[in-house]
Amino acid sequence: MLSPDQSAILNDWRKAGEVIAFTNGVFDLLHAGHVTYLAKAKAMCDRLVVGLNSDASVKTLGKGPNRPINPEQDRKVVLEALRCVDLVLIFEDSTPAQLIEAIQPQLLIKGGDYDPDCTIETDARYIVGSKMVRESGGTVTVIPLLPGRSTTGMIKKSQG
């Protein structure tokens, strides 16, 4: 799941005593909601790792037949350009569970449409990886969404 270089980076951060946080998403058409969210996430940690859904995994999320609009490598380049993002890792699965297990973050962060207290894995508000993070002594938190900002909304508006 992680390349040797990625594992080495994470190990160096751990050895330095840095707090590693993880979040994930599609980040298709980057907007103010995404950037605000990622900046707030970075303010909670020393190192922010972003799990990016691959093109194939986006297709499993029910976001529509034309998604993603931007290919995974383009989305990765854009995220890597943000100073609040320290590492971007593309994952192929429908959820980032295996990636979270490989990273072992101290902090797991999701947007406000999730519930950090939800324990029902089939509930749309459940945060994948939350059980594992808590069991290893980590914290799970959510950041409120910026109202009126979404990729789906942008797409609908552009279609008239």
Give the fold, CATH level 3, of 4-158: Rossmann fold (3.40.50)
**pLDDT value at residue 154:** 58
| Both tokens assigned to 150 | 């979404």
Q: What is the pLDDT of residues 25-84, one digit of tens each?
A: 999 988 889 999 999 999 999 999 999 999 999 998 878 788 899 999 999 999 999 999
Q: What is the pLDDT of residue 51?
A: 98
Q: What is the mean pLDDT of residues 125-141?
A: 97
For residue 32, give the amino acid letter.
Answer: A
For residue 115, the tally of other CB atoms under 10 A from its CB is 17
- How, if at all, do strands 87-91 and 107-111 pair? unpaired
Q: Is the peptide bond preceding residue 116 cis, with omega within 30 degrees of 0?
A: no
pLDDT digits (tens, 9 = 90+) for 82-124: 999 999 999 999 899 999 999 999 999 999 889 999 999 999 9
Q: Are 151 and 26 in contact (CB under 8 A)?
A: yes
pTM of the model: 0.92
**Across residues 122-142, what is the average pLDDT?**
96
> Which of these, 154, 159, 127, lies nearest to 140 by C-alpha position?
127
Q: Domain map of the chain by residue range? A: 4-158
